[in-house]
Every structure is written in structure tokens, then in C-alpha cells.
């Protein structure tokens, strides 16, 4: 049995995966941990949600949607996301403040966020909806495109 310790140099094919989930490649590290190094930081997923689902692209607009985050933390997270390639800063001219946009890598987080929305809508309905009734993703976003570029497809 494996422990919760980081397993460096371990052949991932030799780990006790269920047969149907056994990877056919050798991981150098844990792929979930690798993603969470960036996406797991506090406020990061809410920033990406605000950009991808609410089509918010300016700093002060983000603060309106996420009032709990301080300006310094928001600026820090945006810089981290930019360095990691999830967002890009677009300056129209020197007078206007920049707008932020999701990169291709950032857009790849939208289905992940949609699944989080689907999960909470089903399992935390009592906290999310007035009627406290669980909802399916298609009930929340019926035939909608999110953020101008993303289509929710129910499978």
C-alpha cells in the first residue's frame, strides 16, 4: 500500500491502481499534485471562474465578483497565473488599465470548473439554491455558451 508521501522515482505503473485505471505511462510525479501547485492556491479557481464564466476581464471587476480577496492577493494570483500561462495581460494603451484574458491553457480549466459547479449543484444544493433541490448542469446553463468561447456539453 502506498503512503501519502511524495513518491519520486516510483514507476507509476507499479502502484496499486484499479485495473481499469492503471496508467500506461510512467509519471515522474503526481499529475493531480502538479495541477494543484497552481490551481490549488486560494482564490485561483474563483479568479478563473470569474473570467471564464462571468466574462470579467478587469481587475476591479474581479474584486466586485470576489469581494473577499484583497487587492494585493488578487494582483499576486493574476501574476502567478500569468507566469504559469493560464492568463495573459493585454494593454490597449498606456492610459487604460490592462484587461486580462484566458489563454488556451486557461480555457482548458473551464470544463474542470463546470464539473465543480455540477458537483456542488448536486451535492450542496441546500447551500446553493433557495428551493434546496439538486440541479443538473444543463438546468443551470441550458444550451449556453460561457464567456463567449466555451460551450457546456452535457455527456
At residue 107, the pLDDT reads 93
Q: Is the domain of 95 the same as that of 118?
A: no
- Do residues 122 and 141 share a domain? yes
Q: Which domain holds residue 122?
A: 110-151
Low-confidence ranges of the chain (pLDDT < 50): 1-6, 147-148, 154-155
- 62-78: pLDDT as tens digits: 999 999 999 999 999 99
Q: Clarify whether residues 58 and 96 are in a common domain.
A: yes
Residue 126: the pLDDT is 96
Whether residue 84 sits in one domain with residue 42: yes
Domain CATH for 49: 1.10.10.10
Residues 23 and 44 in one domain: no
Task: Compute the distance between CA of residue 96 and CA of residue 102 in angstroms, rounded to an integer.
Answer: 19
Residue 19 and residue 47 in one domain: no
Give the pTM.
0.78
What residues pair up with 102 in beta bridges, in sequence order?
87
Based on the domain organization, do 66 and 115 belong to the same domain? no
The pLDDT of residue 1: 40
> Is 96 in the same domain as 125?
no
Does residue 20 share a domain with residue 69?
Answer: no
Q: What was the pLDDT predicted at 37?
A: 94
Residues in contact with 107: Cβ distance below 8 Å, sequence separation at least 6, in sequence order: 52, 149, 150
What pLDDT shows up at residue 78?
97
Q: For the chain, how many structural domains are there in total?
A: 3
DSSP state of 145: E
109 C-beta neighbours (distance < 10 Å), count: 22
Q: Are residues 102 and 114 in the same domain?
A: no
Amino acid at each position: 500500500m502506498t503512503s501519502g508521501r511524495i513518491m519520486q522515482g516510483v514507476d507509476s505503473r507499479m502502484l496499486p491502481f484499479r485495473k481499469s485505471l492503471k496508467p500506461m505511462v510512467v509519471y515522474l510525479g503526481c499529475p493531480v499534485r502538479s495541477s494543484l501547485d497552481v490551481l490549488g492556491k486560494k482564490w485561483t479557481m474563483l479568479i478563473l471562474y470569474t473570467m471564464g464564466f462571468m466574462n470579467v476581464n478587469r481587475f476591479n471587476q474581479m474584486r466586485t465578483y470576489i469581494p473577499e480577496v484583497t487587492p494585493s492577493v488578487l494582483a499576486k494570483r493574476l501574476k502567478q497565473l500569468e507566469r504559469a500561462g493560464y492568463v495573459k495581460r493585454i494593454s490597449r494603451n498606456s492610459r487604460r488599465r490592462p484587461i486580462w484574458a484566458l489563454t488556451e491553457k486557461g480555457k482548458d480549466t473551464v470544463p474542470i470548473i463546470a464539473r465543480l459547479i455540477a458537483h456542488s449543484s448536486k451535492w450542496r444544493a441546500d447551500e446553493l439554491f433557495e428551493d434546496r433541490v439538486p440541479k443538473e448542469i444543463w438546468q443551470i446553463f441550458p444550451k449556453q455558451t460561457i464567456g463567449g468561447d466555451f460551450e457546456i456539453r452535457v455527456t
